[in-house]
């Protein structure tokens, strides 16, 4: 096969600076023969693609090679793009699903939290109501015990007059543990006679019995000191206040039947004269007892147990609602 030749045409124009000085030359064509660098033994591929029409053979070869390279790279790129697209789609789907699940569970959590708060508030309310009921129950139990104690005290008395303990006011009924004009000391109430109404020892005891009590019996230093604080000198040095101690069968016996075991004598009396005992006003409470004839009239001291009224009767209270 013959070598393919490539031809090029070079044209030259005359320099028209001074037409009179330079003779006019006729354009001429210069042809150069250039041998191609392709071996005659090699066959150039036939160029049939339409994009190579009108192009030189060497340019068409470069375009063909570039197209073949593109055609060889395109399937791998497309596969990678498809995979990346699928991954993006899956990631988007996962994020969407997670967002939906998060929204659903957050809604459930909020509902559960609201229900828990509601139940907790209801439980706190029930706890408060329970505490109030327990307090009311304790008050009712205490009130029941107090009323039972009051009833027992009334039944034990041979005669009982509520007017001696209670009086009515506008705000309700008020009762004291001691009869009117009596003085409470500890669990006992004491009456110290006043005025000129003197009595014998027996008469004094009868007066005390009308209030469910008796002439006082003294069994402690504190009680003796209390009594000595509330008695006064009157008439003469032989008159004092009858107490519940008298001589029986050569023994000093209290009205309760107890035998004397603590004494506060001014002088130890003789026994056998059936005397009764007076408590005399004294600067020394530990020495204030003396004995005298039981028929002598003197003032007296009564003692009775403090009455166990229910607490709601001890204050100014309306009886329509004793629990308040």
18 located within any domain = no
pLDDT band at 68 (very low <50, low <70, confident <90, very high): low
Task: Give the pLDDT confidence score for residue 278 in this predicted structure.
Answer: 95
pLDDT band at 132 (very low <50, low <70, confident <90, very high): very high
52 located within any domain = no
DSSP string, 254-280: ETTSPBP----BSSPPPSSS-EEEEEP
Pick from 67, 37, 29: nearest CA to 49: 67
Average pLDDT on 26-55 reads 46
The whole domain housing 286 covers 178-306
Q: What is the total count of domains within the chain?
A: 1
Task: Give the pLDDT confidence score for residue 12 in this predicted structure.
Answer: 52
Task: Give the pLDDT confidence score for residue 151 in this predicted structure.
Answer: 78
269 located within any domain = yes
Alpha helices in 158-200 (DSSP H): none
Average pLDDT on 18-25 reads 46
230 located within any domain = yes
Query: 167-194 pLDDT, tens per residue?
Result: 777 767 788 888 888 999 988 999 999 8
Average pLDDT on 120-138 reads 91
Residue 190: CATH number of its domain: 3.10.100.10
Task: Give the pLDDT confidence score for residue 65 in this predicted structure.
Answer: 60
- Please give the structure tokens belonging to residue 115: 């229900």
45 located within any domain = no
46 located within any domain = no
Average pLDDT on 272-299 reads 90
pLDDT band at 146 (very low <50, low <70, confident <90, very high): confident
102 located within any domain = no
Query: 200-248 pLDDT, tens per residue?
Result: 999 999 999 888 889 999 989 999 999 999 999 998 888 999 999 999 8
155 located within any domain = no
């Amino acid at each position: 096969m013959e070598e393919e030749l490539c031809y090029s045409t070079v044209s030259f124009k005359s320099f028209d600076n001074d037409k009179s000085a330079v003779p006019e030359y006729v354009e001429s064509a210069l042809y150069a023969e250039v041998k191609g660098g392709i071996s005659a033994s090699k066959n150039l591929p036939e160029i049939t693609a339409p994009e190579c029409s009108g192009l030189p053979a060497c340019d068409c070869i470069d375009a063909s090679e570039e197209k073949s390279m593109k055609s060889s790279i395109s399937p791998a790129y497309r596969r990678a793009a498809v995979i990346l697209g699928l991954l993006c789609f899956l990631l988007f789907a996962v994020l969407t699903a997670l967002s939906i699940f998060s929204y659903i569970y957050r809604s459930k959590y909020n509902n559960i939290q609201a229900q828990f708060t509601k139940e907790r508030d209801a439980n706190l309310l029930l706890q408060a109501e329970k505490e109030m009921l327990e307090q009311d129950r304790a008050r009712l139990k205490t009130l029941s015990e107090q009323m039972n104690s009051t009833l027992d005290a009334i039944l034990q008395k041979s005669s009982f007059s509520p007017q001696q303990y209670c009086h009515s006011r506008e705000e309700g009924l008020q009762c004291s543990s001691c009869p009117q004009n009596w003085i409470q000391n500890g669990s006992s109430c004491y009456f110290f006679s006043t005025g000129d109404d003197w009595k014998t020892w027996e008469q004094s005891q009868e007066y005390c019995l009308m209030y469910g009590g008796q002439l006082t019996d003294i069994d402690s230093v504190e009680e003796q000191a209390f009594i000595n604080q509330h008695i006064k000198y009157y008439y003469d040095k032989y008159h004092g206040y009858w107490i519940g101690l008298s001589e029986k069968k050569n023994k000093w016996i209290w009205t309760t039947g107890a035998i004397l075991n603590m004494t506060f004598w001014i002088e130890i009396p003789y026994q056998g004269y059936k005397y009764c005992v007076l408590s005399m006003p004294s600067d020394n409470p530990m020495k204030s007892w003396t004995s005298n004839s039981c028929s002598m009239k003197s003032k007296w001291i009564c003692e009775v147990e403090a009455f166990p009224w229910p607490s709601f009767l001890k204050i100014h209270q309306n009886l329509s609602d004793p629990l308040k």
